[in-house]
Structures are given as structure tokens and as C-alpha cells.
Structure 1
């Protein structure tokens, strides 16, 4: 009996030892996995420009750039009460964008390229910036050859003091379908050459023509990014949607005119406007709605103050899906926006179904 008892004690001791060893080993493995997960997360975010944990980042199609869920549009609407020095205003807006994690600027004309190049002086590599010389690109019949497009591109690069642009996205004729196929070939040839020379790291086009966009990204797989209007009234078309081609071709998308040229708002965007709080809320609702479409990489509103930058960052942090009351509120505001579109923005109605 004594021997049996000793054997049982020995077995129990051995079992306890093995159990304890297993627990320690498991803890070591879990610890190692956790450490690897943290390291992987740090590695995955270390290459994101202006990374802020409170900002969302999305893959810009086949460029593989990770850009913020809201970016800075190049256009701005000045208001009379803005007495601040213009360059100082742009610098402060860019500063705040970098602080909240917004990491892309879309500069689509000479004035914008020069303004944002000055704002990024000494820190150009800290943000992504696109370039377009809209006045001297394919909208102008004098600039519809690869040679002329490259000449103007090089001239603006030199004038703005840049060695490269992250994205050269040519601003095309409206509607783009009015371009001949030969012009389409010329503009893609110009983009390709700039990319091969290392002057443009990525390439794309901007147009207000859905069918032409579809043709271009399917015909020319070299194109990596496209820009087109997408507002709080825009929806995915039930048939023959542009988004089908976008997904198939793995193209990044920036949504322009998210507020329909400010027609969504009651106020004038000026500081202290009696409608400021209501307009801020409308802006956030619109951005949240747009971001529900995962095929849109990022909307690119024009922003004129640090406050507006903060409001966009707040929109990204808020719950994504709108509840029933919010949907009704945005629908009412959007219908009024649609009814109040000025004559020069009526074309936006063509972008209700995309």
C-alpha cells in the first residue's frame, strides 16, 4: 500500500509539473504572439504619413498608398471676413491636417500647387500631394499632346520647387467623352513618361464623365487614380455602375464636391456664422454617408480653417452608419441642396447614380 501511495504521489507530482510547464509555455507563446502583433501593427502604421491613431486610413487602389479617410481638396472658398494672410492661412490649415492625421492634398491648378508647395516647404515628404495644371492640360485644345503636357508639367514642377509629385492627375475636358481616343492616348503617354522619369510617382485623371472614366481605366491599366463628384445625394447605380470597373481595375478614388460646392450649407463658412453649428453637423453627416461606400477611398473637401479640419476629423471618428433620424436629417438637407444648386452646378445632378 505504501508503494502504491508513493507511485500515486509521484504521478500526481509529474502531472502537476507537466501542467505547470504547459501553462508557462502557453504563456510564453501568447506573449510572443502579442509582441509580434504589436510589432506588426507598429510596422504597418510606421509607413503611413502623418499617422494618427484617431484617423482612419484607406488603401488608394493599386498605388498601395495609405491615405486618410478624408483628405484636403485643393479648392478653397474665401469669405470676406477672412483677413488673415493667405499663405499663413494655408500653412495653418496644412499644419492642423498633419496633426489630426490627414495626409493628402489635391492641388489641381497652378495657384493651388504653388500655395501648397509653400505651405509644405521644408517638409514636402511629410504629406502626399497631387499636381494638375488644369489651365494647361487637355481641357485646353493647345495642350492635347504628350509633348505639350510634359512641357507644362515640367514648368510647374520647377516653378513650385518640387522634384517629384506623388500623383500627377490630369484634369480632363468636360465631359471627358468629348476627347478623341487619340487625345486619351496622348495624355496617358505623358503620364507614363513622367512616371518612368520618376517625376510622378503615381498617375491618374479627373473627369465629370462616368462612361469615359470607365473606358479609360479599362483601356489603360496604367491609370491608378481617378477623381469624380460624389455628394450626399450620390448612390451606386443598380446596373452598369462605375464602381464595378473601379473594383475590377483596383483603382483609387477621390470624391470631389462632397458638399456640392457648399450648396449643402445655410451659412457662408465664415467664423461665427449663425448657422455654423448646424452646417458643421451637416458636413459630418455627409462625410459619414460618403465613407459608407468603401470604393471611395476618400472625399476631398476644401477647408479654410483649423476648425473645419477638426470637424472633418470628428466625422471620421463618429459612428459610420447613420441611424434612422440621421438619415432623415441628411435626406432633407440634401434635397434642399439639390433644389438650391446654382446654374453652374446643375451638372452635379448627373452624378446621383454612379
Structure 2
């Protein structure tokens, strides 16, 4: 067990990511979460945007709700919407309080809005004073957004993707650790792109700046294997480092790190989000959810005019135009 940053939460370094339970039943979720408790997991991450996830989790923890450290999050940016989302989350989770409430997928240009008189942060502060939430955090896929968040003394945790092929946030995560801000790692398998889950988790847990990693799980074998990695001494061997370097080389030429340097797109396509949702569609088996979110974005991959501006800005030299074509074929075809 470790303490999550400056919070008082004592948690297992392996937590439970609540995205995949959208594809199993409520009863299967309950059995899964009971197994998590048996194996020592006590941190659960979910979100308002994960359809039935909050409800399934609330149903699964009602007999032992005080055992769990529950984190959820909302895309709301204004006061009233966030206030409503907090109440909905409390109802769904069946609790009087939520341990960690996060502003979900926060972008660099949204801080002024969330801190305004009518902003989401005001609703979170009020809820904290009322005892409805205990801590406030942020999540993002943008390094610049996380870096900006670290400039404020307002957040207890940050949540960011980090894995074998996505290390663009490493400096920000190290800085957060130095400031005693809790570090929560999402996308440990790079959205399903990494096959060797044991090595992927071991790589993350070998980093001292990581507090907790939250792999998505939808079956009991995954729980057992993930906890086993967490209980081991996570020191990488030479052969494991060689395997990691091999994976980086193989995936590096066609894998989006969501750094955002390709933006803005001349056609206002949210390029990183195209690849993120394609991953959920193709590798997470969340086709309907991914399609709903994709269709809500506005300009999709097929609106690309192949101008090449994005590729000239990409630090990883990705063939973005070809990759967008593949996204359009899968998600629009």
C-alpha cells in the first residue's frame, strides 16, 4: 500500500479501471469487483461518460462501500453541469461521498473557464466543503494541459497516459511526484496495442514517480495476473529491457502518443482523438460507445484534405494522412 500523493488515501499500486465493464453484465461486474477486494485492490476509477460503469460499480460495492477508494470524473466545465454530475455520480455509486472527483480530459485552454465564477471548479469546491467529495483531481491526454495544471495549487491528483510507447508525460509526472501530487496512470496497455500485459505493468510500476496504475479489467484472470505483477519486485531485467525496446521500435512508426503537436488541423479535425477512439473500437471491443463518441466530435477522419500540415509538425513522423484514412474506413465505413 502507498499513499496517493498529498491525500490520505492508502491504496494498492494496482487499481481497477472501470471502462471495460461496459461490455459485461452487472452481476459479472460484482463478481469481478469482489475478486479485486480479495486480491487487495481498493482503488476504482470510473467516469460519468462510461455509460453504465458508475451504476455497475455502485451495485457491486453496496455491501462494503466504505472499503473502496472511488474516483470518478466529469466532462462538465461549468458550475451547474458539474454540480448536477456530482449528484448523479453519488446516486449511481450509492455513496454519501466520492473520494476523488476529477475534471475529465481537461485541455490547456479550458482552465480560465473552469476557474471562473460560473466554472466547474467552484462546484467541486462547494461539494468538498459539504463533504460530498474528498479530493479534486484532473485528467488529460495533453502534456501541456497537465503541465499547466501543476502550476496551480488546486489539485490533489493528475491522471495521464503512460506506458512502454507513450512516455511524453514523464517529466510532468516526475514534477507532480516532487510536488506531492498523486500520479494515476491510465492507458497502461496503450489502448490495447500492447499484448504483454505483465511486462507493460512491470515497466510502469518500476517507475518511482507512479503512485497507481489503473488497467481496465473485465475478467477475474486479469485481476489475478495484474495483482501478481503489483506484488512482485518490479526491477526490469536486461532481457525485459530488450523486449521493451523491441516493442517501442515495432509500434513507434504507427502509434499516436496524443502529444497534440499535429494540431490545430486546417479542417478542425481532433486528430489524436480519432486514433484514441479507433483504439477503443478495434482493441477494447467497445464499438458502440466508440462510435457514439466519434460521431459527436464533429469533423471526422474523412474530412481530411491530405494537406500534410499535421505530418510536418508530428515529432514522431507518423503517416497521419494514411492513419486517418484507416480510421475513416473503420469508424465511418
TM-score with structure 2 setting the length:
0.71
Residue in 2 aligned with 1:252?
182
Instruction: Return the alpha-carbon distance in structure 1 between the equivalents of residues 126 and 249 of structure 2.
Output: 44
Q: Deviations over 1:96-142 (max 9, x none)?
A: 111111110001125211110111112111111112244xx2xxxxx
Instruction: Return the alpha-carbon distance in structure 2 between the equivalents of residues 237 and 255 of structure 1.
Output: 10
Change (3 A) 1:329 1:288: same
**2:61 corresponds to 1:101:** no
Change (3 A) 1:344 1:154: same
**2:17 corresponds to 1:73:** yes
Residue in 2 aligned with 1:285?
199
Change (3 A) 1:258 1:147: same
| Aligned partners of 1:258 and 1:286 also within 8 Å | yes
Change (3 A) 1:155 1:207: same
SS at match of 1:119: helix
| Aligned partners of 1:171 and 1:206 also within 8 Å | yes
Q: Deviations over 1:139-198 (max 9, x none)?
A: xxxxx222321122113323443211111112134xx11315133442322221111110
| Aligned partners of 2:143 and 2:169 also within 8 Å | no
Give aligned pairs, total: 261
Residue in 2 aligned with 1:115?
56
Instruction: Return the alpha-carbon distance in structure 1 between the equivalents of residues 275 and 175 of structure 2.
Output: 29
Residue in 2 aligned with 1:169?
102
Instruction: Return the alpha-carbon distance in structure 1 between the equivalents of residues 53 and 189 of structure 2.
Output: 20
Which of 121, 131, 138 is equivalent to 1:188?
Answer: 121
The 5 Å alignment of 1:134-153 reads 134=75, 137=76, 144-153=77-86
Which of 123, 146, 163 is equivalent to 1:231?
Answer: 163
SS at match of 2:224: helix
**2:247 corresponds to 1:306:** no
Residue in 1 aligned with 2:67?
126
Greater displacement, 331-340 / 106-115:
331-340
TM-score with structure 1 setting the length:
0.67
| Aligned partners of 2:163 and 2:190 also within 8 Å | yes
Residue in 1 aligned with 2:110?
179
Instruction: Return the alpha-carbon distance in structure 2 between the equivalents of residues 329 and 180 of structure 1.
Output: 40
Residue in 1 aligned with 2:275?
344
RCO comparison, higher one (Cα < 8 Å, 6+): 1
Instruction: Return the alpha-carbon distance in structure 1 between the equivalents of residues 173 and 22 of structure 2.
Output: 33
Q: CA deviation at 1:324?
A: 0.9
| Aligned partners of 1:230 and 1:290 also within 8 Å | yes
| Aligned partners of 1:73 and 1:105 also within 8 Å | yes
| Aligned partners of 2:174 and 2:209 also within 8 Å | no
Any unmatched runs of 5+ in structure 1?
Answer: 1-56, 80-84, 138-143, 266-281
| Aligned partners of 1:230 and 1:351 also within 8 Å | no
Change (3 A) 1:351 1:340: closer
Q: CA deviation at 1:262?
A: 0.9
Cα RMSD, aligned residues only: 2.7
Any unmatched runs of 5+ in structure 2?
Answer: 257-273, 280-313, 317-333
Instruction: Return the alpha-carbon distance in structure 2 between the equivalents of residues 192 and 298 of structure 1.
Output: 24
SS at match of 2:150: helix
| Aligned partners of 1:132 and 1:171 also within 8 Å | yes
Change (3 A) 1:297 1:308: same
Query: Which structure shows the higher helix fraction?
Result: 1
Residue in 2 aligned with 1:263?
193
